[in-house]
């Protein structure tokens, strides 16, 4: 990577600007880690000139949910060890084109959570130039509904607790927190508290009814964690105006994240959800189980055993009991542990979904978007919307003054089979090696 302060000038790029795709090639000047200028013709003496040749210039990818189960499976560690590991994750993720990410926690003992979050705080303090790529932690497993624990150990799932929440927020490592609003009468007050402390509040692995979810939104709840997975509570009844899934889709004050690995949520449903929500309220995440790349064999984390699907397609829960023959024919035949993809693959999946005609589940047919519109929408869903949701005004877009997180890339292939080939990665204006 280049650590020099020399400006970089991209010429002839097809850039995805914050307000949409450019209809012509333009120039973008990077200086001091920021986008200094965007325009038709820019001259800067002394700048390193990169001829984009009509290639795409995209904002760096942002992944709001990555898990590092390989690291957590090793057991307790102190804050300094956690910080060193997170910096390894930063280097790996940046090499894939991810210039911002959030690490999720698992349901685990409070002392271990506190140490992990303190390690996150050390990185957020910014000792290295690349530390700003790490956006903080998502406290995911602690305050969920235990009946919806998924791959989390229910032993360490707790009812919303003010003292514990304040203790963990005080570490300085937390960016977002999951609070199931139905789990206590005081959960709404905790949502309000977290938001007042600058923490983004989410709801997942939960099943509040629609009225309770709306109450949580009024208190500061911002988004639903991996809609459809966890699992997500649902109700077709008129009582309390339905369930969590239904309210998440119709409430325009709520954003949703979706695991777009091609397995956790059927692509037909994702296409329906993108059509139902304002697409600015949809964020695609990897929910990668392993932050440094998926495993090739079985693993165990906090007493929960997982396996790897043939070909490494996804991670799943292994049962310690003899399988029930009837289970093979049920909709619960496979329970996921996490995904085995990265955010680059997520971007490709979203782009390909948008460029072909799709038969939905609730909507019979979705027309393909024009290619440029599909690219812009995929960028929004895989970067811009996440930045907005995390209150990062200077990320997720290409405009003057923004942090220079950029990808110079080729998008090659055909509708439904496009691939993103990254030629240049800038993270905070620093040129990075590609993975």
Q: What does the DSSP assignment read for 98-145?
A: EEEEEEEPPS--HHHHHHHHHHHHHHHT-SSGGGGGEEEEEEEEEES-
Taking the complete model, does pTM exceed 0.85, yes or no?
A: yes
Q: What is the mean pLDDT of residues 343-366?
A: 97
Which residues does residue 412 pair with via DSSP β-bridges, in sequence order? 419
Instruction: Report if residue 313 sits inside a domain.
Output: no
Q: What pLDDT, on a 0 to 100 scale, did the predictor assign at position 370? A: 95
Is residue 333 situated within a structural domain?
yes
Q: What is the pLDDT of residues 212-256, one digit of tens each?
A: 999 999 999 999 999 999 878 899 999 999 999 999 999 999 999
Shared domain check, 353 and 383: yes
Q: Which has the minimum average pLDDT: 6-20, 258-272, 409-423?
A: 6-20
Give percent above pLDDT 70 in the chain. 96
Query: Confidence class of residue 2 from pLDDT cuts 50, 70 and 90?
Result: very low
Are 206 and 147 in the same domain? Answer: yes
Return the higher-pLDDT residue of 183 and 324: 183
* Residue 241's CATH number: 3.20.20.140
* Same domain, yes or no: 382 and 402: no
Is 312 contained in some domain?
A: no
Indicate if 350 and 256 belong to the same structural domain: yes
CA distance 421 to 411: 6
Residues 137 and 27 grouped into a single domain: no
Give yes or no: residues 129 and 265 share one domain: yes
Q: Are residues 288 and 92 in contact, defined by beta-carbon separation less than 8 angstroms?
A: no
Residue 25: closest CA among 59, 51, 60, 61: 51
Asked whether residue 166 is domain-assigned, the answer is yes
Residues 6 or more apart whose Cβ sits within 8 Å of residue 159: 143, 183, 184
> In sequence order, which residues have a C-beta less than 8 Å from that of residue 153 and are 6 or more positions away?
106, 107, 108, 141, 302, 303, 304
Q: How far apart are CA 404 and CA 36, in angstroms?
A: 9
Determine, yes or no, domain membership for 254: yes
Per-residue confidence (pLDDT) for residue 358, from 0 to 100: 97
Averaged pLDDT, 162-181: 98
Do 13 and 134 belong together in one domain?
no
Across residues 412-425, what is the average pLDDT? 98
- Shared domain for 89 and 154, answered yes or no, is yes
Residues 401, 290 share a domain = no
- Find the domain containing 169 and state its range: 61-294+301-306+319-389
Please give the Cα distance from 208 to 63 (Å, whole number).
26
Per the structure, how many domains does the chain have?
Answer: 2
pLDDT confidence tier of residue 312, bands split at 50, 70 and 90: confident
The pLDDT mean for the chain works out to: 93
Q: How many degrees, rounded to 5, is the angle at CA 53 between CA 48 and CA 58?
A: 80
Supply the CATH number for residue 24's domain: 2.30.40.10
DSSP-derived letter for residue 329 is G
Domain assignment of residue 261, yes or no: yes
Distance, CA of 45 to chain centre: 38
User: If pLDDT is split at 50, 70 and 90, which confidence band does 320 have?
Assistant: very low
């Amino acid at each position: 990577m280049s650590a020099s302060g020399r400006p970089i000038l991209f010429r002839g790029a097809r850039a995805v600007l914050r307000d949409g795709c450019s209809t012509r090639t333009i120039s973008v000047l990077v200086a001091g880690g920021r986008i200094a200028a965007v325009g038709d013709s820019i001259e800067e003496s002394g700048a390193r000139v990169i001829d984009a040749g009509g290639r795409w210039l995209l904002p760096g990818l942002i992944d709001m949910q990555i898990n590092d189960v390989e690291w957590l499976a090793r057991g307790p560690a102190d804050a300094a060890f956690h910080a060193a590991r997170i910096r390894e994750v930063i280097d790996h993720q940046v090499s894939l084109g991810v210039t911002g990410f959030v690490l999720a926690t698992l349901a685990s003992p409070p002392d271990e959570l506190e140490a992990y979050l303190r390690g996150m705080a050390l990185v957020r303090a910014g000792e290295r130039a690349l530390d700003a790529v790490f956006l903080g932690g998502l406290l995911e497993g602690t305050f969920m509904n235990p009946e919806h624990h998924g791959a989390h150990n229910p032993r360490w799932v707790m009812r919303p607790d003010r003292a514990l929440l304040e203790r963990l927020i005080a570490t300085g490592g937390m960016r977002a927190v999951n609070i199931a609003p139905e789990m206590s009468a005081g959960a709404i007050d905790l949502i309000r508290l977290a938001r007042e402390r600058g923490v983004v509040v989410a709801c997942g692995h939960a099943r509040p009814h629609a009225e309770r979810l709306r109450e949580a939104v009024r208190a500061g709840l911002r988004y639903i964690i991996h809609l459809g997975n966890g699992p997500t509570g649902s109700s077709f009844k008129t009582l309390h105006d339905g369930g969590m899934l239904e309210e998440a889709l119709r409430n325009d004050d709520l954003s949703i994240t979706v695991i777009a690995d091609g397995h956790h949520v059927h692509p037909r449903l994702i296409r329906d959800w993108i059509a139902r929500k304002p697409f600015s309220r949809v964020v695609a995440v990897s929910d990668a189980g392993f932050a440094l790349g998926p495993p090739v064999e079985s693993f165990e984390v906090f007493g929960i055993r997982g396996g790897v699907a043939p070909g490494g397609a996804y991670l799943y829960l292994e049962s310690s009991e003899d399988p029930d023959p009837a289970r093979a024919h049920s909709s619960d035949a496979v329970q996921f542990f996490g995904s085995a993809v990265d955010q680059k693959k997520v971007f490709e999946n979203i782009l390909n979904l948008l460029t072909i005609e799709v038969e939905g589940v609730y909507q019979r047919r979705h027309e393909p978007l024009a290619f440029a519109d599909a690219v812009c929408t995929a960028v929004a869903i895989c970067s811009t919307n996440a930045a907005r949701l995390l209150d990062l005004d200077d990320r997720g877009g290409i405009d003057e003054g923004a942090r220079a997180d950029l990808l110079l890339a080729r998008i090659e292939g055909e509708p439904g089979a496009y691939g993103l080939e990254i030629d240049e990665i800038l993270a905070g204006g620093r040129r990075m090696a590609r993975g």
